[in-house]
């Protein structure tokens, strides 16, 4: 996955520890920074695709990313299970 977006993120303007908070207040501080960042979407997608467990990425906490990933898995499974079965050609 492309990482050029990292050089354009607002996170470059603050200490990295800001995005690895130990409490809910710290998560909110990081989210506010992410909310105005033009790189929020690619940042979140990067964290989801790489299964990053720690920190705030793309404005989402660890718990929120787990929920997003779970929802995507379930939606993918639902699409797969609702697709019509392929026709079987009778070759007698």
Residues 12-24: pLDDT tens digits? Answer: 999 999 999 998 8
Give 44's Cβ-side CA count (13 Å radius).
18
Q: State the CB neighbour count (10 A cutoff) for residue 74.
A: 10
Q: How far apart are CA 86 and CA 37, in angstroms?
A: 45
Sign of the torsion angle spanned by Cα atoms 27, 29, 35, 38: negative
Alpha-carbon dihedral 12, 14, 20, 21, rounded to 10 degrees: -160
Q: CB neighbours of 84 closer than 8 A, spacing ≥ 6? A: none
Q: Quick one: average pLDDT of 48-76?
A: 95
Band (pLDDT 50/70/90 cuts) for residue 2 is: confident
- Of 30, 40, 45, the closest CA to residue 8 belongs to 40
Residue 91 has pLDDT above 90, yes or no: no
Query: How would residue 79 be classed by pLDDT, with cut points 50, 70 and 90?
Result: confident
Q: Tell me the pLDDT band of 77, cut-offs 50, 70 and 90.
A: confident
Mean pLDDT of the chain: 89
């Amino acid at each position: 996955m492309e990482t050029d977006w990292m050089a354009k993120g607002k996170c470059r303007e603050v200490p990295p520890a800001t995005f690895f908070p130990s409490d809910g207040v710290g998560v909110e501080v990081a989210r506010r920074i992410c909310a105005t960042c033009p790189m929020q979407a690619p940042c979140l997608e990067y964290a989801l695709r790489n299964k990053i467990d720690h920190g705030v990425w793309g404005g989402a906490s660890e718990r929120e990313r787990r929920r997003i990933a779970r929802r995507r898995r379930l939606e993918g499974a639902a699409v797969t299970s609702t697709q019509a079965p392929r026709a079987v050609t009778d070759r007698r």
